[in-house]
């Protein structure tokens, strides 16, 4: 399987299809330069094989006598490339027709179309990056806030890899000591040596626990949080969505039932990618369209990480407000008391019946009042008072988290076995398990299923 990825030459469009200034067709493999020789004519009359590496050259892509496009060609020779293979990048004018025409020309000369993430997969298989760095590339691309980008860049730089590598080396030292005692079965492990092994195992266990403790915040940065805005018609749900987004995303009218579908947009709240979801009502609809809208709204509420229950402070509470409050009684929610720019008509005792002890935040979506306070309360709740610092090492990936949990469990078992004076073979087994789980994170131990899952998430040109 690996031979397939390493021996042939691949190509793909590495920029989104559409109208823009530049589009890139990328080739990687042994034939990349020789293929470019057949289609590129430089302004100096030279072919790519005659050009110096890691420089841009102006010229034309030609199919026989037909000129396809005016381009800048970048020749990058192995091993100082992304894949550690020869790479050629054709920087042409962007546009569906010209990009596809160049790609089809390249493919007609014996190059294979790249699979999803295959350029990055080659970089991993060639040892240029490890698996956490490969995953970080995708996180960089998908980052929705500056904080999420910083976390992804830290992983791309190898911060997590170095930490995992250090832990594995520490466990290897323990394994070496244990293996020595197993080889000489007639000799017990000396008490002092056993004490050192216990100390090292405990230290590694604590370090893994620290990484796991960062996982909740890391997941928030990577995955974001879904926040559903709910309430009866005309309380200002869509106005609140627009105010938080600072743009007119949802249609706002005085007529009830304007929102007929679930609208979703993402906003940066103190580094958190908050997916704001504006819903239609959650009470029974009067027609087929409204019934379907209610069904979708209820589904969004069930899946939400946080709910904003919006009330109209300029009108007395209605039975529908109480019904919605009861419907979300078991969920994490804030009560947003909207329309503070108008005379207030909700009494404190009535409000308590709806809020049910939840935090009440007063805003005017129309005037923009109270929105910063609402954002601060949301951030404080989600970060639990522990917003990550810029240089903090965060575990952001669910796969890493699961492997760390298994490694931590194995080390806890090893510590227990040491304390119970169990045999060196049993202790060594647990230590090797922990090493193996840590190795899965950085790709020292891998299987094709894991690689397929990871690289299938990439676009074809990366």
Distance CA 111, CA 101 (A): 14
Residue ranges covered by each domain of the chain: 2-129, 134-214+394-443, 224-383
Distance CA 262, CA 100 (A): 36
Whole-number pLDDT of residue 408: 97
Distance CA 230, CA 209 (A): 38
Report the predicted TM-score, pTM, of the whole model to 2 decimal places. 0.81
Distance CA 422, CA 151 (A): 41
Contact 241, 227 (CB under 8 A): no
Return the CATH class of domain 224-383: alpha beta
Distance CA 424, CA 82 (A): 44
Sites in the chain below the pLDDT cut of 50: 1-4, 250-253, 255-260
Contact 126, 85 (CB under 8 A): yes
| Of residues 149, 146, 117, the one with CA closest to residue 134 | 117
Tell me the per-residue pLDDT of 118-158, one tens digit each, with 9 for 90 and over: 999 999 999 999 999 999 999 999 998 898 999 999 999 99
Contact 73, 42 (CB under 8 A): yes
Handedness of CA 146, 148, 149, 150 (dihedral sign): positive
Q: What is the CATH number of domain 134-214+394-443?
A: 1.20.120.430
Whole-number pLDDT of residue 445: 76
95: Cβ contacts below 8 Å, ≥ 6 apart:
18, 19, 23
Distance CA 382, CA 390 (A): 17
Contact 237, 310 (CB under 8 A): yes
Distance CA 356, CA 326 (A): 9
CA distance to 111, 350, 357, per residue, from 339 (Å):
62, 17, 21
Whole-number pLDDT of residue 332: 77
In terms of Cβ atoms closer than 10 Å to its own Cβ (0-12, 13-18, 19+), residue 405 is middle
Q: What is the CATH number of domain 2-129?
A: 3.30.1360.120
Distance CA 311, CA 230 (A): 9
Distance CA 57, CA 127 (A): 29
Whole-number pLDDT of residue 283: 60
Tell me the per-residue pLDDT of 239-269, one tens digit each, with 9 for 90 and over: 999 999 987 764 444 544 444 457 888 999 9
SS3 per residue for the chain: CHHHHHHCCEEEECCCCCCCCEEEEEEECCCHHHHHHHHEEECCCCCHHHCCCCEEEEEEEEECCEEEEEEEEEEECCCCCCCCCCEEEEEEECCHHHHHHHHHHHHHCCCEECCCCHHHHHHHHCCCCCHHHHHHHHHHHHCCCHHHHHHHHHHHCCHHHHHHHHHHHHHHHHHHHHHHHHHCCCCCCCHHHHHHHHHHHHHHHHHHHHHHHCHHHHHHHHHCEEEEEECCCCCCHHHHHHHHHCCCCCCCCCCCCCCCCCEEEEEEECCEEEEEEECCCCCCCCCHHHHHHHHHHHHHHHHCCEEEEEEECCCCCCHHHHHHHHHCCCCCEEEEEECCCCCCCCCHHHHHHHHCCCCEEECECCCCECHHHHHHHHHHHHHCCCCCCCCCCCCCCHHHHHHHHHHHHHHHHHHHHHHCCCCHHHHHHHHHHHHHHHHHHHCCCCCHHHHHHHHCCCCCCC
């Amino acid at each position: 399987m690996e031979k397939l990825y390493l021996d042939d030459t691949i190509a793909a469009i590495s920029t989104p299809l559409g109208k823009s200034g530049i589009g890139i067709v990328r080739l990687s493999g042994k034939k990349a330069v020789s293929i470019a020789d057949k289609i590129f004519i430089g302004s100096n009359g030279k072919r790519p094989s005659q050009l110096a590496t890691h420089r841009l050259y102006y010229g034309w892509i030609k199919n026989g006598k037909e000129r396809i496009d005016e381009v800048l060609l970048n020749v990058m020779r192995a091993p100082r490339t992304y894949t550690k293979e020869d790479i050629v990048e054709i920087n042409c004018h962007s546009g569906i027709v010209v990009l596809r025409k160049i790609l089809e020309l390249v493919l007609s000369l014996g190059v294979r179309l790249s699979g999803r993430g295959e350029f990055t997969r080659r970089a991993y298989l060639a040892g240029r990056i490890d698996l956490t760095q490969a995953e970080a590339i995708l996180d960089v691309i998908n980052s929705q806030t500056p904080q999420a980008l910083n976390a992804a860049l830290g992983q791309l730089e190898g911060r997590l890899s170095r930490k995992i590598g250090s832990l594995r080396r520490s466990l290897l030292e323990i394994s070496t000591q244990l293996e020595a005692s197993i080889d000489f079965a007639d000799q017990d492990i000396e008490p002092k040596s056993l004490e050192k092994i216990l100390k090292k195992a405990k230290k590694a266990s604590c370090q893994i626990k620290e990484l796991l403790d960062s996982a909740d915040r890391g997941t928030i940065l990577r995955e974001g949080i879904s926040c559903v805005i709910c309430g009866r018609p005309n309380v200002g749900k869509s106005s609140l969505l627009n105010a938080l987004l600072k743009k007119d995303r949802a249609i706002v009218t005085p007529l009830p039932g304007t929102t007929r579908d679930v609208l979703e947009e993402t906003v940066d709240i103190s580094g958190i990618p908050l997916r704001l979801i504006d819903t239609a009502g959650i009470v029974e609809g009067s027609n087929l369209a409204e019934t379907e809208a209610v069904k979708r709204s209820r589904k969004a509420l069930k899946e939400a990480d946080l709910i904003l229950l919006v009330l109209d402070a300029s009108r007395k509470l209605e039975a529908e407000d109480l019904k919605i409050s009861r419907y979300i009684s078991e969920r994490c929610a804030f009560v947003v008391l909207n329309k503070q720019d108008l005379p207030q008509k909700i009494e404190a005792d009535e409000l308590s019946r709806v809020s049910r002890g939840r935090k009440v935040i007063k805003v005017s979506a129309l005037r923009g009042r109270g929105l910063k306070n609402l954002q601060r309360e949301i951030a404080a709740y989600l970060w639990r008072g522990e917003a990550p610092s810029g240089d903090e090492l965060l575990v952001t990936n669910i796969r890493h988290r699961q492997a760390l949990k298994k490694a931590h469990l194995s080390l806890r078992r090893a510590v227990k076995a040491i304390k119970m004076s169990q045999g060196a073979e049993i202790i060594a087994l647990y230590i090797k398990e922990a090493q193996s789980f840590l190795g899965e994170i950085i790709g020292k131990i891998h299987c094709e299923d894991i690689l397929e899952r990871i690289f299938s998430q990439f676009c074809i040109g990366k």
